[in-house]
Structure 1
Amino acid sequence: MYQYVALAIFCMLRGANAQVTAQANVAPDLRECYTNPILLDRNNLPPPSIQTLVDIIQKIEDHPNVNVDLRMLAVLLLHTYRQDGIEYHAPESGTTSSSVLPFAPTFHAFYRHRLLLTKLIPNNHQALPNDTLPSTLKCALHHMLSTSVDARVRGDENTCGQNAEYRALRTPRAAGVADDVEVFVPVPSIEDTEYGQMRQFNPDAEVQFNVNSSPMRSARQLLGESTCPILDGVIHTSWGATSAGNVIAGIAAGAELQTVSLSDLTKGSVSTYENVQQTVQNLYPATLTGDLAEAVLIQGTRARTEITVGSSGNFNSSQARRFFMLSSRQNVEMTDPEIRGDIDGFILGNRMNNILQTFSTLKLSQLLDMYYSPRNGVFDASVRACNRRDLTTAILSDNALVTQTESFAAALNANMLLSGTITTGLTTLVTSAIRNFQSYTQSNMNDLTCSITESSSDIRYRTNLYIVLDATWPYATIYPAISYLVDSIEVGKFGSSVTLLSAFDGSVVVNKTFSPSDFYSEYTLLKHQSMMSGVNLETAYTNIRNIMQWSLQNETASNYVGGNSSVLLFLLNSGSIQNNQATFEQARQLNESVPDLRVLFATSTNQFDNLWNLVRDMHDDIHVISLTSTGVNVANILASVTNRILQANRRIINPLCNFEFNAGSSGIKQFDDFIDPGYIQFYAVSPNYFFGDNGNSKIRISRSTAGAGTLTVCYSRTIVQPRRNGTIIGVDDNLITCSDLASSSNVEINLQGACDGYSTIGSCPPMYISIQAVASTTSNAVCTDTRLCRFPYNLRYTVQIEDLQCFSSASSIGASVVAMIVAVFLMF
């Protein structure tokens, strides 16, 4: 009997612990996010984006002590890391106390949040281990999931809304939708305290708060000082800024739908609204009706007859995103990011039953990754973020939305502090809110459509990128560029890796990582300032060559046959770069010993005359980039660099060959790779592996699993990224050979005599290969190994090598230099 009592007490304690984020103070496990100065500075946290969110969730899923399914993980994320409504409260004395944390969940979003966690999405007495995430990622996840508005004056209000890249994605408000703006006389401000300090991307731009702020809750939420307050709980996606907490809440509710009585939500109090439906389905308040009810109650108690929804804004930078700034301080109950999060959460929650029937062991990270992807969607090409507008129209019932909003408004009214009481006319206010919601989502939220999404590249980056950074770049200037590179090449568990090196000596600044959140946690302003400034190419090349040799030795030890391309990118800001004979010799040895490595230079000034002899292609491997501290137009500035990275094909190698000695034949070895439907992947086999006339040297490609659609294999000696005949304009069809790959067949590429007629390895072209998944059917889960497959509908294939050789290209660099000198002589 005693053991049952002990078990009951344990469950009660675990249950109580699981509800701490629903209490009216900052949860104990989250307090360091508001007390530690390093964690308070958002520049030290990974930027809020869908890539960061998916990456952090993957870390939780891969934790050895976490073994929960998608539904339970979504619930645990809400109960562990989400706490809506946390606001800063300036002490009346103007000074802080070490015994008082001047933050508390008092913003209006907290009351809905508390109902969700205690009544509508309860936790079954489980908790995540304390060591699940390091503090940096814990606080980053907390801020991505938790909705609140910070209206403190920051001092940068005159620059709000000047981000043209974001304004271009929005259209003006439709006529008839209210957007009241009140004008206030500026009031004096004081210097920031430790707790009040928040940083924008500019590390010198401090955030100020007003000591004369009204301590009244209603005054704070309605009369904020900043003309463009900060909305917390927002992540960046290609389809608009989105409130991630609402998305996760919709998934959690949809995975376990519940109908809760109104009396349970109102704590047994007598409802003053007799004609409302007496039950609430948890999916609605977790998403759409939660924010609609807030708007109805807050604006309705201010004697508004027309309820406004929608408030646009933008991130503080087009690339170095830290804060989402609203364009107005009024009517912030249902902002644009919250609308998107509500819709996305409702769409996914509404389909959770079908999704889990298709793949019962689907991971939460996979679900989010599929929904916020350019193609394919969640087992249905229509179920993705670019299609949210049409999906909302198709699945959302007007009657259900009205009745559910009325019911939850009645429930929230009994739990929320308001500046008045709505005695009659609730239905009229709800109808107004829903009418304006429907009008606003159809006319004002001009997000990217699926047709635009599908016109983007059908190539996924898979590269190991080594960035060699010149620390003379100002951090505020170079950080957006590096951030853009990390996002563009899809650094992630199933994608690319990034390593940061110093241009001063080639030393490692941030170790190789496949985690964007880990990279951003490491590369901070403090880390940048600790780097030695200047460029020493000779020393950098010497150490980089050692790093690359160490990498090749690891590949030999692990029997690595192929995969990501390798790109070394120098980001240089110094003036005239010194390039002497010793530097050239180190570059020559690097090219000889790592033939699959592509070396690129991106410089702030034209350094062509200094650097041309260090690259393989002097016309395409040296770029001039004009970066600014505002981070605007980074995508266009770096377009030539990212395109060149994309042209670096994935590798197929002889793993025994590190070019320090002739390792001989590879024998027969193979590796498996995966492709998304509708995408194409490119490989290259260096002539260093087949220069000799070996009749047994072959590459063989075969299907590893069945699945919808066809794989097409193409190869060429002259077209770097070959596609099926007729798909590359101006290219002779005879230069490309293509074959369809059935489930029981293979395509064999014979390399015998592939370098006949070429006197040096450097003059012999590689063998270029492509594999394309022609079909776009994604309705089945054909790849259920979540350790290997990014998406359940990935198609698996096998690349097998046979008797690849190992030849040094010692003479190739010298030959290419002679050829370039002759070319320059002839030119002049």
Structure 2
Amino acid sequence: MYQYISLALLVMLGGAHAQVTAQANVAPDLRECYTNPILMDRNNLPPPSVNTLVDIIQKIEDSPNVNVDLRMLSVLLLHTYRQDGIEYHAPESGTTSSSVLPFAPTFHSFYRHRLLLTKLIPSNLQALPNNTLPSTLKCALHHMLSTTIDARVRGDENTCGQFAEYRALRTPRAAGVAEDVEIFAPVPEIEDTEYGQMRQFNPDAEVEFNGNYGSMRSARQLMGESTCPILDGVIHTSWGATSAGSVIAGIAAGAELQTVSLSELTKGTVQTYDNVQQNVVNLYPATLSGDLAEAVLIQGTRARNDITIGSGGNFNTSQARRYFMLSSRQNVEMTDPEIRGDLDGFILGNRMTSILQTYSTLKLSQLIDMYYSPRNGVFDSSIRACNRRELTTSILSNNALVTQTESFAAALNANMLLSGTIITGLTQLVTSAVTNFQSYSQSNMNDLSCTITESATDVRSRTNLYIVLDATWPYATIYPAISYLLDSIEVGKFGSSVTLLSAFDGSVVVNKTFSPADFHSEYTLLKHQSMMTGVNLETAFTNIRTMMHWSLLNETATNYVGGNSSVLLFLLNSGTIQNTEATYQQAKQLNETVPDLKVLFATSSNQIDNLWNLVRDMHDDIHTISLTSTGVGVGDRLAAVLNRIKLANRRIINPLCNFEFTAGSSGLRQFDDFIEPGYIQFYAVSPNYFFGNNDNSKIRISRTSAGSGTLTVCYSRTIVQPRRNGTIIGVDDNLITCEDLASSGNIEISLQNACGGYPAVGSCPPMYISVQAVAVSTTSSAICTDNRLCRFPYNIRFTVQVEELQCYSSATNIGASILFIVLAALFNL
């Protein structure tokens, strides 16, 4: 039995009340998303992506006031944050009243949504508390889950259909709700706008709405003048833009399948289709049959006999995505993102019984994360997004889809405002819709295949990235680059972290966070404009060194033996950077006393002759990057920088070292780490921990827990990221040693005399280590059940032990400075 909800939440939520997101007005807890100008500007909200969705759901799961299982949480998300069909309605008088919100759920998707929440996926406990999430994340989640179309004229219609690298982001006017007309008239500088972000468009170049609409509210939107309307409720995934609301709805329905009678769905109305099946299984209207029924009814009442399925489009840009633009305003009842969301929701809903039998305490965030991962899938490598087309063929019965769609269309017809009445021929219309859906989904949606997905990478990045930002970069230019880096290194609860610092003085702009949603919520145009401009490397290095030493002291206090790599990346746009002797000395001390930190520079002009003495490797640690305000090709432009970040291996350290004080031997210490099947992880042990040639210094990789397959441990002194012999082209096999580790035992790597013959710490190479897990096709059990530590339940746990690591500084004088004696004393207090 599922644990439905904790006593604390029961008390907090109180008794059942009206299902507010199923009402014909904007839910009270969501209204600030449509009244607060900051929240109305999507550029102040995190980008809608599967990473953001998982991150926000993790925050809800980790909330001390929320203790629900997967089934209940999926239901509560729908009842709290999803409200389909909300549209803007310009006041007929042209002016607005402070007592009237010009938004209401009147688009056609609302009627199906209301049936789902009131009849098919009901909840006795209606919603999560309004303080569960901060406003920015609440509104971001609402827009990711809620399907609607905004077809208002924006002024960009002559270019937005190109889609290759769409240049504009929507920018609401700051004057308030009444003047919130979003447009795209070009202007020279983005800084001219108050809330504008990301692209150079003027919010004050008013574009009037065409007033010649039909009498229906929903028709006003569908018959609007925009040739590329904006589809809301869409998230970006590597396997195509997807309607997240349908995914969550499918999971919720599949976790508690219900068969509901047609009479219950049409209660209070006259049934006109007596010859259809009289029962509806909730999984179908929650996903595929819901959108198919909408297409049948809306197109059918326009005297269409052949129901069109599918409508393509693209996000407004390849990075920092905020809006999904459809390529047409016609036949938008079942768009491409909705097809993907319906398929994914149906696939997961169809498997929920077996999934929960495998791991009854699986988290909703884990389920979504596994399904949208490059490998492994949901306890079966076939159950993942890259395989949706093949899965559809195997699990979806065409006859069942026709029958269920016809039944739900009959129910929806009794609850939906339409422009006509279908008297006969419903079966023919449904058959046409299903046939066209099957053809379109199999032939027209060429998303990435699993083969391409798996060949892309087998490494999960785990980096603490410190970005030192020169605020003279235009926000429109640098934000897509930063966003790309965060996506590429997988900033997240179980992955990398990011800290944003100022190049003016090294001060913190955005505190260290493992949450992409939090970072994007904080680093906005307004935050960027508040930064001091200019670069002072001496001050920046001085303050950063202090921060890094505080971090070392904290690692000593917490017995931190290893984990994420550390990378300090300067993103500089100013002209010739001043590099004084004092700057060099500060950088030298940082490199010598924080040996595991990799310092990189990425500059808009060639600065290698100026900055070469501040890094360890002048040829590979200084890069010239050419960024544009359009964000085009940012991945190619940052490829070399990203590669250097990814070459920074995870750390294995002696936690007693802070390199401003003499420190003793580490003794025997250890930390646990986790790896997915089919992936490899790289580590490095700095020579600062074994330069003294202690005969007992060693690293030990051991395994005591269950898991599929063996682990392969490789190590080398010359190959930075060693793999199994023969897998690195052009590398002498003798440079790498590899051993297999079965389900128990250990592999010992001796550091005895590892720096013999090297005159100084700086000349002795690190010990490079890798741990690789063999790929498997099925992971039929949950072996990693600590949700605080395990990203996925099939991750394999292993232990990294250090023994008799030492502490040697590469500085010529390792005596403690007065500053850090004071810092240490304060830290101990």
Q: Same fold by TM-score, threshold 0.5 exceeded?
A: yes
TM-score by length of 2: 0.92
Return the match for 1:202 from 199, 203, 221. 199
| Whole-angstrom CA distance in 2 between matches of 1:352 and 1:10 | 29
The equivalent residue for 2:15 is: 14
User: What's 1:809 paired with?
Assistant: 810
What is the 5 A alignment of 1:183-198?
A: 194=178, 196-198=180-182
1:464–1:496 CA contact under 8 A, matched in 2: yes
Instruction: Label 1:416 to 1:225 Cα distance change in 2 as closer, same or farther (>3 A).
Output: same
Deviations 1:225-277 (A, max 9, x none): 21111100000000000000000000000000000000110114332112210
Amino acid corresponding to residue 61 of structure 1 in structure 2:
E
Determine the C-alpha separation between the residues in 2 that align with 1:747 and 1:194: 68
**Counterpart position of 1:269:** 269
How far residue 11 of structure 1 moved from its aligned partner, in angstroms, is 12
Distance 2:127 2:106 in 1: 25
Equivalents in 2 of 1:14, 1:23: separation in Å? 18
Q: Which amino acid aligns with 2:118?
A: T
Aligned-partner residue type, residue 209 of structure 2: N
Which amino acid letter does the alignment assign opposite residue 782 of structure 1? I
2:199 maps to amino acid:
N
- Report the AA paired with residue 77 of structure 2: L
Look up the equivalent residue of 1:543 and give its one-letter code. Answer: N
Cα contact 2:85–2:110 (8 A) shared by 1: yes
Unaligned runs of 5+ in 1: 1-8, 168-188, 814-828
Aligned-residue offset at 1:193: 5.1
In the other structure, the counterpart of 2:566 is 566
Aligned to 1:799: 800
Post-superposition offset of 1:504:
0.8
Report the Cα distance in structure 2 between the residues aligned to 1:197 and 1:235, rounded to whole angstroms: 24
Distance 1:12 1:482 in 2: 40
CA contact (8 A) 2:545 2:590 kept: yes
Gapped runs of 5+ residues in structure 2?
A: 1-9, 168-172, 183-195, 815-829
Letter in structure 2 aligned against 1:445: M
Secondary structure of the 1:158 match is: coil
3-state secondary structure, aligned to 1:504: coil
Q: Deviations for 1:396-455, whole angstroms, at most 9, x for unmatched residues?
A: 000000000000000000000000000011111111111111111111111111010010
Q: What residue number does 2:675 align with? A: 675
> Post-superposition shift, 1:730?
1.3
| Structure 2 match to 1:293 | 293
Name the counterpart of 1:822: none
CA contact (8 A) 1:288 1:339 kept: yes
2:312 is the counterpart of 1:328: no
Q: In 1, are the aligned partners of 2:165 and 2:317 still within 8 Å (CA)?
A: no
Quote the residue 2:68 is aligned against.
Answer: 68
Correspondences of 1:235-246 after superposition (within 5 Å):
235-246=235-246
Is structure 2 residue 430 aligned with structure 1 residue 433?
no
Equivalent positions of 1:488-567 (< 5 A) are 488-567=488-567
Query: For residue 609 of structure 2, what is the aligned residue in structure 1?
Result: 609
Look up the SS of the partner of 1:702 in the other structure: strand
SS at match of 1:157: coil
Q: Which residue of 1 aligns with 2:632?
A: 632
User: How far apart, in 1, do the equivalents of 2:281 and 2:790 lie?
Assistant: 34
Q: Distance in 2 between matches of 1:156 and 1:201?
A: 16
Asked if the contact 1:34/1:195 (under 8 Å) is kept, the reply is no
TM-superposed CA distance for 1:190, in Å, is: 15
Q: The residue matched to 2:569 in structure 1 has which SS?
A: strand
Report the secondary structure of 1:38's partner residue: helix
Mark the CA change 1:11 to 1:258 in structure 2 (over 3 Å): closer, same or farther: farther
Deviations 1:685-713 (A, max 9, x none): 00000000211111111013111111011
Are the structure 2 counterparts of residues 789 and 113 from structure 1 closer, same or farther at C-alpha, using a change threshold of 3 Å? same
8 Å contact 1:250–1:342 — kept in the other structure? yes
Distance in 1 between the 2:157 and 2:645 partners? 38
Matched, 1:786 2:787: yes
Alignment check: 8 A CA contact 1:200 1:322 kept: no
Residue 371 of structure 2 corresponds to: 371
Report if the CA contact (8 A) 1:73-1:364 is conserved: yes
Aligned-pair CA distance for 1:117: 0.0
Shift of residue 166, structure 1, vs aligned partner: 9.2
User: What per-residue deviation string (whole Å, max 9, x for no partner) do you get for residues 342-400 of structure 1?
Assistant: 00000000000000000000000000000000000000000000000000011000000
Write the distance in 1 (CA, Å) between the matches of 2:43 and 2:812: 48
- Say whether the 8 Å CA contact 2:197–2:476 is kept in structure 1: no
User: Are the structure 2 counterparts of residues 13 and 508 from structure 1 closer, same or farther at C-alpha, using a change threshold of 3 Å?
Assistant: closer
SS in 1 for 2:132: coil
Q: Which residue of 2 aligns with 1:132?
A: 132
Give, in whole Å, the separation in 2 of the partners of 1:273 and 1:195.
Answer: 45
Q: Which has the higher mean CA deviation after the structures are superposed, 348-357 or 737-746?
A: 737-746
Flag the 1:644–1:370 CA change in 2: closer, same or farther, 3 A: same
The answer as to whether partners of 2:458 and 2:679 remain within 8 angstroms in 1 is yes
CA RMSD of aligned residues (A): 1.9
**Alpha-carbon distance between aligned partners in 1 of 2:133 and 2:174, rounded to the nearest angstrom:** 36
The offset of 1:742, in angstroms, is 1.8
- 1:229 is the counterpart of 2:229: yes
**Closer/same/farther in 2, CA of residues 358 and 10 from structure 1, 3 Å limit:** closer
1:601 partner amino acid: F
Q: TM-score, normalised by structure 1?
A: 0.92
Residue 628 to residue 635, structure 1, CA distance change in 2 (3 Å): same
**Paired residue for 1:660?**
660
Give the residue type in structure 2 aligned to 1:282.
N
Query: Equivalent residue for 2:774?
Result: 774
Asked if 1:78 is matched to 2:65, the reply is: no
Q: Distance in 2 between matches of 1:728 and 1:165?
A: 36
Q: Is the 8 A contact 2:679 2:775 kept in 1?
A: no
Q: CA, structure 1 residues 753+209, in 2 after alignment: closer, same or farther (shift >3 Å)?
A: farther
1:218–1:531 Cα change, 3 Å: closer
What is the letter of the counterpart of residue 392 of structure 2?
Answer: T
For residues 191-211 of structure 1, the C-alpha deviation after alignment (integer angstroms, 9 at most, x for no partner) is: 985562456742644384516
Q: Is the 8 A contact 2:270 2:414 kept in 1?
A: no
SS at the partner of 2:15?
helix
Q: How many residues align?
A: 783
Stretches of 4+ moved more than 6 A in 1? 9-13, 189-192
Task: Note the alpha carbon deviations across 1:163-222, whole angstroms, 9 max, x for none.
Answer: 32699xxxxxxxxxxxxxxxxxxxxx9998556245674264438451625363243143
Which residue number in structure 1 is paired with residue 823 of structure 2? none
The answer on 1:358 being equivalent to 2:333 is no
Structure 1 residues 798-819: Cα deviation after superposition (integer angstroms, max 9, x where no partner): 0000111000101599xxxxxx
* Cα separation, 2, equivalents of 1:604 and 1:76: 47
Report the secondary structure of 1:545's partner residue: helix
C-alpha distance in structure 1 between counterparts of 2:354 and 2:13, whole Å: 34
Residue 827 of structure 2 corresponds to: none
Asked if the contact 1:66/1:129 (under 8 Å) is kept, the reply is no
Residues 371-520 of structure 1 mapped to structure 2, 5 A cutoff: 371-520=371-520
Amino acid at match of 1:701: I
Question: Partner residue of 2:152?
Answer: 152
Distance 1:541 1:194, change over 3 A: farther
Letter in 1 for 2:402: V
Partner Cα distance (1:192, 1:212) in 2: 21
Deviations 1:730-765 (A, max 9, x none): 111111111111222101111110000000101000
Q: Secondary structure at the match of 1:740?
A: strand
- In 1: Cα distance, 2:495 partner to 2:389 partner: 30
Quote how far apart the aligned CAs of 1:569 are.
0.5
What SS does structure 1 have at the residue aligned with 2:124?
coil
C-alpha distance in 2 between matches for 1:678 and 1:190: 50
SS at 1:800 equivalent: strand
Determine the C-alpha separation between the residues in 2 that align with 1:14 and 1:620: 62
> Does structure 1 retain, via aligned residues, the 8 Å contact 2:106–2:218?
no
Q: Which residue of the partner structure matches residue 172 of structure 1? A: none
- Distance across 2 between alignment mates of 1:539 and 1:137: 35
Q: Is the 8 A contact 2:462 2:564 kept in 1?
A: yes
The residue identity in structure 1 corresponding to 2:120 is L
Distance 2:270 2:128 in 1: 38
SS in 2 for 1:662: coil
1:732 equivalent in structure 2: 732
